[in-house]
A and B are shown apart, each in its own frame.
Chain A
Amino acid sequence: SQQGEEDPQALSIQEGENATMNCSYKTSINNLQWYRQNSGRGLVHLILIRSNEREKHSGRLRVTLDTSKKSSSLLITASRAADTASYFCATDGNTDKLIFGTGTRLQVFP
């Protein structure tokens, strides 16, 4: 079974708007990662945040982590049509394997 859930399940926005996705997980972690998956393709790593970090930035991406609530959020600022994809959070659950959430499908309209 999957580690956690993401919400919303689907999100539609216009280019230029910000997109926020949330992830909740169940067990303690060493780190949390976010991946993007374009339709019919493999996953691409976006960003990793460690359990002792609260916020991390990479370009137009901002990730927050609240270990007390076992939750994380991914913010994409100034979205582009090319950001259209599914986004997954993944945790290590203090193991060597990744456990993925259910994903958020983001649609950005030009």
Chain B
Amino acid sequence: GAGVSQSPRYKVAKRGQDVALRCDPISGHVSLFWYQQALGQGPEFLTYFQNEAQLDKSGLPSDRFFAERPEGSVSTLKIQRTQQEDSAVYLCASSLEGTGSDIQYFGAGTRLSVL
């Protein structure tokens, strides 16, 4: 596709439910990043893939958060047993190579509300 696509755009979950957020990066982009953005704050890094390898997951807040990119393209961020503090916008970005000097291209995000 022309840009990074994320789905769903909005997700409402009851506390305790599992959710899965999808990211479809720009075709050919090696690296894929997930960020969490709380209201009024900047994005905070969650995890990063180069192709199918998860190179850094230091930002995942707990073991309830899990991300995968099995074929080196589409990625899924899964949150198990959602809590109210998980409410945020989840942003996905891709970059051509994935070094810190690369420009990252962002999707519009998934807004998760946990009730």
Same complex: yes
Q: Which residues of A approach B to under 8 Å, CB–CB?
A: 1-2, 30-31, 33, 35, 40-45, 48, 50, 88, 90, 92-103
Q: Which residues of B approach A to under 8 Å, CB–CB?
A: 4, 31, 33, 35, 40-45, 48, 50, 55-56, 59, 91, 93, 98-101, 103-109
Contacts of A30 in B (CB 8 A): 100-101
Contacts of A43 in B (CB 8 A): 43, 91, 93, 104, 106
Contacts of A94 in B (CB 8 A): 100
Task: Kindly identify which residue among A33, A93, A101 contacts B42, using a CB–CB cutoff of 8 Å.
Answer: A101
CB distance from A97 to the nearest CB of B (A): 5
Are B109 and A95 interface neighbours, CB within 8 A? no
Are B100 and A2 interface neighbours, CB within 8 A? no
A2 CA to B104 CA in the complex, in Å? 18
Are B105 and A45 interface neighbours, CB within 8 A? yes
Between A and B, 25 residue pairs with Cβ closer than 8 Å are: A1-B44, A2-B41, A35-B106, A42-B91, A42-B107, A42-B109, A43-B43, A43-B104, A43-B106, A45-B105, A48-B101, A50-B101, A88-B43, A95-B100, A96-B48, A96-B99, A97-B45, A97-B48, A97-B59, A97-B100, A98-B33, A100-B43, A101-B42, A102-B42, A103-B42
Listed from nearest, the 3 A-B pairs whose CB atoms lie closest are A92-B100, A42-B106, A100-B42
Query: Which A residue sits closest to B41, measured CB to CB?
Result: A102
Contacts of A102 in B (CB 8 A): 41-42
Contacts of A95 in B (CB 8 A): 56, 100
Given contacts A42-B4, A98-B33, A98-B43, list 17 more A-B pairs with CB under 8 A.
A1-B44, A2-B41, A2-B42, A30-B100, A41-B108, A41-B109, A42-B108, A43-B104, A45-B105, A88-B42, A92-B101, A93-B100, A96-B99, A97-B45, A97-B56, A98-B100, A101-B42
